[in-house]
Structure 1
Amino acid sequence: MQLNAGCELSFEAKAPTPLILMLRPRSGAGQWIVREEYQITPAVNVTEFTDMYGNLCQRVIAPTGPFSIHFSATVQTANEIDVAPGAPYTPVEELPDDVLHYTLPSRYCQSDQLGDLATDITKESEPGYDQAEAIRLWIHTNVKYQYGTSDASTSAVDTANKRVGVCRDFTHLGISLCRALNIPARMVVGYLYQLDPMDLHAWFEAYVDGRWFTFDATQENPRGNRITVAYGRDAADVAFTTQFGPMDLNNMKVWVEAADKDEDEKKPDGVTTDSASVGSNNQNEASQ
């Protein structure tokens, strides 16, 4: 399916503020970028680079005062995601070099503290894909999705204890439990068609049988029509904005619609979302 997706961000900068943005998807597995538009107001110089995970990032300096970003794209997406019950575990010694670090604990994914829970959840599962799916299903069944129950400091251990959170928290927990079993896992952020409530979304991928598979603990069944924007170890690597100074995000809107208007409902004006659901990094606050 072709999807029209995008977001609008409105900021207020109290002083000139450097920003790193991560809003542009790129063509790859399961998606082809047909068209994209990027508008920044007021106009500023933009430089782009590719980070260590292959994500497209933009560097800007927001001037004092109102500052807004509009991004939209038309993307050809896969209608279904691959599933592979019974796909075998890939031994650590056979992992590619660029996958190996996804077995290690990271800032929000303390896999070294969740081994007992991971073992208990997967005790009846065959090593590999079935373990990752058992983890996804356990989170979906046992963790309540609720806005306002977590923040930028919430970790996988916190979510395992409180059993409540949003997609970011579900994802961190899924990643951590997989890594506790030496299954490489990474965070993915982007858009999901017909997500309810609409927002930027997060899910995880696990590496089994020599490739990555998608797992989304917020959804009851496997769903395609996803647009991946970024990959990383956890939310610290995939924040849609990282700011280095005094700047407030006042509003964010996100939309995803079928590009063929006859195929689905008409495009909404955009849904105001909770920016904490995927997250942004505020380096100014973190350093205080």
Structure 2
Amino acid sequence: MTQKNETSVTVLGLGRMGQALAGAFLKAGHPTTVWNRTAAKAERLVSEGARLAPTVGAALAASPLIIICLTDYPAVRELLDASENDLAGTTLINLTSGDSAQARATARWAEQRGARYLDGAIMAIPPAIGTAEAVILHSGPEADFAAHRPILDALGTVSYLGADHGLASLYDVAGLAMMWSVLNAWLHGTAMLRTAGVDAATFAPFAAQIAAGVAEWLPGYAEQIDRGSFPAEVSTLETDARAMAHLIEESEAVGVNAELPRLIKAMADRSIAAGHGAEQYPVLIEEFGTPR
């Protein structure tokens, strides 16, 4: 059942994600103004109670809180940079995907025009918006986040990362690195087992168990990284490198692509050559932190 709430919000951009954001605000009872370059995309939201602004300027004037979800950061600047658009006194929350440098530059640009600015990242698919499964990251001035937290809670599980406007984007891509690394490891293992007639569904529960077990190592490994000390409490990097060699050999023997394990072993070999062979696996943070 839709609740009644007097706090208004404007959503700029009505792609699938923008529509989901506006729909969540409406469901929570917030008076919601929407704008999109193609007005037809607003029809369903208007039927649910949203107000369609005829211009960007009208959309900005309708609410003190502006949620932006466009294709990229240049599109945000192009949309809002028109001289007739008054940003003074508004709070912009930009949930457009981009990088940390763009986030920081856009924050400076917005502040020069009298707006408050929070950058954000959506770690969810559109159907999850409005549920606890939707994780929405925010970075920028904490007071601005706290002031609008009651409205933002309508979107899902919202979190504040810090004053640096670039943090939301950095967390976003760090999360993607985790996601793809886990999926790639599973795909590699699945490809190997398929050569023995084991299907992906059979391997998946075992793979999930391994992934969950490795996740439990992270807090202890994080302590080592933050201390800059890597005592071999479990195994040495040299031991791990021998296991990597076995993975490469087995992959090649069964006819599976071995590029990924060869890459990781090359990093381990460099670390060992630098004198870290007797330390524990997180010492590879130095390799990951070195551009090549």
Q: TM-score range by the shorter chain?
A: under 0.3
TM-score normalised by length of structure 1:
0.25
Name the structure where strand makes up a greater proportion of residues.
1
Name the structure where helix makes up a greater proportion of residues.
2
Larger radius of gyration: 2
